[in-house]
């Protein structure tokens, strides 16, 4: 009887715990949708400019250097604009240099003294990533911030020049190789400047779609079973697992560099526009009444950066 009572008490405690967790999650969701400020003083309606408004008071006198992939449009371009406005040297790693040049012009029109460097990279190609890293390291610049932002979505099965499924190659493997090559430069910069470095992997809440089944490469590589959304979800889960593993390695090395994976929110960037169709367009139209602008979305990235600078 005593044993049964203990089991019932344990079951009741567990159910209460789940109920409490569910309640907290609901409250957090409602606060997010309402744009209510959190402990940091910022909410989901805050913009990147608002988050970084006071950062000039604690930024070091020597310019920080931030490398951003996919900064020729969308979240990456807005991140580059705001960082440049705050005095950070920005390196835009882009596949389309024509679009990147337009971003640079717009940044320098707003902030004439901004230092913006353009370098070409195709994250779907190991060779291109290696060439990019060689070109960047040859500049002998410090590297304080690495933002792995670029991403793609494909409704059709495509392969990279290295014969790897294109979404996984671009969203994960390219950034993995980029980080692997540049991480020593980041650690070196942090040691020399005594400023903690920051790596940010831009992931997505859609990664949770893959938690139950895990990675299913065989299905993805089958033309008949290919699902673009699942391929995208797997690549974003990989971004998070990558961040967890790198965090362990950095801690083991006692490095003054940290890494975070962030879900920036949902905004109609190029990736969303790739999901063409009546259902997707209808869902986005409904959801957009609650969702965020690009400037609001990219504030997540800046919030993470500010943790290390303040």
Active site residue ranges: 226
52-62 burial, b for 16+ CB within 10 Å, e for fewer? beebeeeeeee
Question: Tokens standing for 223?
Answer: 């033309």
Cβ–Cβ < 8 Å for 66, 147: yes
The set of residues, in sequence order, having a beta carbon less than 8 Å from that of 70 and lying 6+ positions away, is 76, 93, 94, 149, 150, 151
Parallel, antiparallel, or unpaired: how do β-strands 89-94 and 197-202 relate? unpaired
**Total residue length of the chain:** 310
Residues 6+ apart with CB under 8 A from 295: 47, 48, 49, 78, 82
How many angstroms separate the CA atoms of 107 and 102, rounded?
Answer: 9
Q: What angle do CA 153, 34, 43 make, to 5 degrees?
A: 75
Residue showing tokens 């790198």 = 246
A 10 A CB-CB count for 197 gives 26
Residue that has been written with the tokens 């190029």 in this structure? 270
| CA angle (240, 152, 269) in 5-degree steps | 100
Neighbouring C-alpha atoms within 13 Å toward the C-beta of 274: 13
* Cα 68 to Cα 91: distance, rounded to the nearest angstrom: 6
């Amino acid at each position: 009887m005593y044993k049964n009572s203990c089991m019932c008490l344990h079951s009741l405690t567990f159910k209460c715990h789940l109920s409490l967790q569910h309640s907290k999650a609901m409250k957090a969701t409602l606060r997010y949708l309402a744009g209510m400020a959190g402990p940091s003083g910022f909410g989901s309606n805050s913009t990147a400019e608002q988050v970084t408004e006071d950062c000039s008071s604690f930024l070091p006198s020597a310019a920080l250097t931030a490398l951003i992939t996919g900064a020729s449009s969308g979240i990456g371009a807005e991140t580059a604009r705001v960082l440049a406005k705050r005095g950070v040297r920005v390196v835009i790693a882009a596949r389309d240099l024509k679009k990147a040049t337009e971003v640079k012009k717009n940044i320098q029109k707003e902030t004439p003294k901004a230092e913006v460097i353009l370098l070409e990279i195709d994250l779907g190609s190991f060779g291109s990533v290696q060439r990019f890293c060689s070109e960047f390291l040859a500049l002998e610049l410090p590297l304080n911030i690495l933002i792995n932002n670029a991403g793609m979505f494909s409704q059709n099965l495509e392969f990279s020049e290295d014969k790897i499924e294109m979404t996984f190659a671009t969203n994960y493997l390219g950034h993995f190789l980029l980080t692997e090559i540049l991480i020593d430069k980041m650690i070196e910069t942090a040691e020399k400047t005594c400023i903690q470095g920051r790596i940010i992997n831009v992931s997505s809440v859609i990664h949770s779609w893959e938690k139950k089944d895990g990675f299913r490469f065989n299905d993805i590589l089958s033309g008949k079973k290919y699902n673009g959304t699942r391929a995208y979800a797997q690549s974003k889960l990989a971004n998070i697992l990558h961040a967890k593993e790198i965090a362990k390695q950095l801690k083991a090395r006692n490095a003054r560099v940290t890494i975070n994976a962030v879900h920036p929110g949902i905004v109609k960037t190029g990736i969303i526009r790739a999901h063409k169709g009546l259902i997707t367009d209808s869902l986005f139209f409904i959801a957009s009444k609650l969702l965020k602008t690009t400037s609001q979305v990219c504030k997540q990235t800046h919030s993470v950066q500010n943790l290390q600078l303040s």
